[in-house]
Structure 1
Amino acid sequence: MAETRKTLPPPSRRRDKPQLSCNLCRRRKLRCDRGHPCGSCRHRGLSLSCTYSPTSPAETRHITKETRPPSHPGLTERISQLEKLISSFVDDPNARRQAGQFDNSGLTGDVRVKEPQPTNSDGAADPSDSFGHISLRDSKTKYVQDTHWTAILDGIAELKSSVHDEAGRSSELSAPASSSPEILFPSCDPATHSEILRDLPSREGFWETPQETHIMWVGKLYGILSLALIFQGNDECFLEDQRRLIEKFDLKIKQCLVLGRYQDCPPDTIETICGTLNTQFHQSGDGEMSSLVILGVLVRMAQRMGYHRDASHFPHISPFHGEMRRRVWAIIKDLDVMLSLSAGLPRILREFQSDTAPPHNLLDADFDEDLSELPPSRPESFQTPCQWLVAKNKLTSMLGIISDFVTSIRRPSYSEVMRLDKMLHETYSSTPQHLHERPLQKSLMDTSETLLHRIQLVSLYSKARCLLHYRYLAPARTDHRYAYSRDSCLEASLKILQYQHMMYQESQPSGRLYNERWKVKSPIMRGVIMLATTLICLELNYELSSDSTAKKKQIALPGNVTHRLIQALQQSHKIWSDQKDLHHDIPRTIQAIDVIFKKLEKQQNETPKQAASSVTQPSNKGPFYDSTMGMSSMRQISGTDQLM
């Protein structure tokens, strides 16, 4: 047997020099104090990355367990170290720019939006130009702000793949299957995909492969069917069989949301939640709070999916889907303001939290999914459904700002009130000309939809004026400085009741709004009219409750104005009495008007001559003529003088 010999190095070869510096200091050619970790790595916040290469088995044995540096730190520890490092970027713009130079060419499934070029005088990027991060992965959509640690972490290619791989393995091995949240739909019995499809109306060739259709899309379809039943608008609407069908469809919407795991934000989630929200709000007379709960979920889901940031920031979103996201976001903003105000609560969204552009003035036929670029908007003179949505969005946004202002915990100044009043008027004046109010007899060629759009816009404008000025009704009785607010509030209230009378007449079987009468009786419109009714009752109560001594010190309303207020309440009382079964709040409104009428009757009995002269002899002068805000002169309510 051949004798095994040890291979010796050639005599001329120098002995290997042991590496005493840590790997990072050696790579950077820095002085290393050979600590564990070394001072250089500790100073740079890289303690967990300070590692040494073993030199020889003998030397390695001298490294005890306590002093052995971690050669492969855990992912959690590295992320903790990274968070500390990132926190230093806030105070160091140069470090932030260096962090953004990491290679991110390997990112898939996510879109990392590059920071814009520096625009400030000091060379730092404007923080408001950070658009955040949208992740599309495994049929789930997730948006986080640019300051969120996951958005920053995904921008570092060194850790991105290991994070996703290790997180995936961890979830597969240890994470239990989470159950669907039950706080939103506690009474919703779970259903299978087949059970949900079975309840759809039968139609030949409805789908070629219905089982392959995503369940959230089916939920959106049920929402359309449910709203179609509600919006049929029969006076004898919601007969028992129809009501049961609406409730059945709404249950299917909720089952689709639960089965489709709405909390993961798959496609069509927002539209499906909108379906059950609208059904709940229009169908249930006492569903106000439940509607607000669903609204909160809707807003947060939309923010999670990045609807509040304009799609132009994210190159992977096509022009078609970007435009559809703008339309959906406009609807969500409108729902937030109107439903919140309807419930007497602050709105959720604020203007500074979103930069999503308004929808373009385009018809649905103007663009499709295959377009690489949206066509330019049509001129303002061209009417499209989105034009109305944009105009309404401007007014609801202004209404939200005014609501925030008047409900603020700080005391508002009257100069701010007047500034907002001017902004409100300018916003309403900027709406397209064909949406401005006009006499009904001059709108014979307009569709019922256009008429309703005008009514809704002027109602929003009038409601905003009421909210802005109503606090000055009482002070204006003794202080001339607030006379404008008193006039504006009462003028707007009378305008709303004027439209209530007109809508009631035109929604009769022979009227122009008969086929659209479900919109006339909507909860939103009902809330606007109730506000106006209450404010007129408030003003008349001030007038009727003051004794003769106090009246001498007060600024009384002209006789013609008092006459119009009483006449408006009389007509409103008649309409509310006819609709008292629509909502539980209507009888309370009727009772408030009855109280005013009883006080008026009592005053007339006590001073018949004086009361008669103040109520039945209107003059030609008053605060509602030649309004400084450009509104038309207030007319007595009659069938031919209605404004549109």
Structure 2
Amino acid sequence: MDGDPHLQPDPSGPTSPAKSPARRRRPPLSCTICRRRKLKCDRALPCGQCLKSKTPDQCVYVGHQPPRSDARRGENTPSERARASATTTRASPAHGGLYVFDSKHQQSAANKITKPKARSDELHELRNRVQFLEAALSKTGPIHTPESLGYDAPSEAAGRAVAPEAQNLTVDVKELSSRSCFRGKKSRTRYCGRCHSAVTLAFFDDVSVFMRGQRSSLKRNPDYKNFKSFKGEMWARERQDHQRAFRNKSWNLEEMVPPRHVADELVNLYLSTFEMTYRILHVPTFLEQYEAYWTASGPRDRCFVAKLLALMAASSCFLSPTAKIDGREKLHDAAAEWIAGVRSWIALTLVSSTIDFNILQIECLILIARQADAIDGDIVWISSGSLIRIAMTMGLHRSPYRFHKMTKFWAEMRRRLWATIVELDLQSSIDKGMPPNIDLEEFDCEAPSNLDDSQLTEDMTDDPVPKDLGNFTRSTFQVLLHQTLPLRVHIAKAINTLKFTLCYDEALRLSEEINQSMQEGAGIFHRMGTAMSAPVGEDPSFAQSMLVFLMRRSLLVLNRPFALSILRTP
């Protein structure tokens, strides 16, 4: 036995050699998520950092547990055993996803580290945890977390995840999602999705309290009642006059075209702005048709007239709202009539035999005009879904070369228009807070190429050579934006889906990808401006600003639910 090298001599004996004791690594006290992110952990379960990042189910404590002998285990006092039991309970989730929430979560940062509790305090804390578990198990279904909740406002999810702390929230906060997402009564109701602006406004308590106070005080004022009744009568009269005027109109599209100097300005505005972003037209062909329209003496092509009116209505937003046509009619009012006239013409002519590429172009221009001029822009998502289905009826969602008689020119035009339609649907879905109408797996149409319109002719037989992204064309913006389409569609669906399952770590990863894509795209446009590689009359500044705007919009949509949830974290 004395010669066995595995047996260690008693350190208290006289023959023990004098050597320094082995240093043991200090066991980690923070949870695994806080250690990985290098954040300060409050050692609760789940900790405050994991609650803020919406990952309470990942809050796990892993520490070094040295083996203990039976003799050492027998020496533990009841107080030590209770403390060990509490630590074990805190470091592991309960069955079924139930978590025992630490009562220290509500304490301030100064009280995070406290002296050891007395035995009575520990028993009181354990009793509270048992009561919470009994209450949770008595409810139907598991306790929801922010990731699994399907509610419309993240604040409600955060409030329900921490059930004991939710008792401190007011009833108004619990019903916040109902007030912001579900509106109306009886037959007139409206629903707003998670990324709708109404959800954001509902988190400003001061505004809602002020408005409720104002309404409650004004309801007792007779002048307010009379004014409200008068406002209703005026709105009803205006709506009737509007319907009567449009119902009795003949909608002669040719008579609605403004003088040429006004049309020239609006066409040039459109070609230098929206046509740099949403590729709808083949510019050389359109300009030929435009010139022929003004020089022709006979009847004009109604399809081109509708396209021209929709185009001018879209670009009218860049002029002053008080601008007038020859000092008479306001341009904004004229644009509203152009949109109504073109939509009426489409409704009268849209049958199966008339669905063609021109109809799709006009529908795209009308969608842009309605959003730019704020004319029924809040329900554009309905029209974009219809546009998607018209395009799919024509097969734009499939690869152009699946049509055996497809030419090179029309193949590229179809790719451009399909990318525009999908982008318009994505933006309208974000406006309404709804999921996009199309899934990425439902189409195999290729991405558009970075080609100048001068490289495309209807009689071409060979595929044109796309330009490098460093060379600016009217399609550069669309090519850059289309590269991020899968990422932005994924964000829109993850945020606006009924069941919100996006975790904070995934949101951070998506944010990094969006930022990287935005910086790369902005850098390409910046180098173009420095090298002056853009053709004369084609300023890339609008396309660059539009790219940054759309990318930042997706970034805000992605992070807004988490930001609003943190505001409601107890």
The answer to whether the superposition gives a TM-score over 0.5 is no
Question: Which structure has more RCO (C-alpha within 8 Å, separation ≥ 6)?
Answer: 2
TM bucket, shorter chain: 0.3 to 0.5
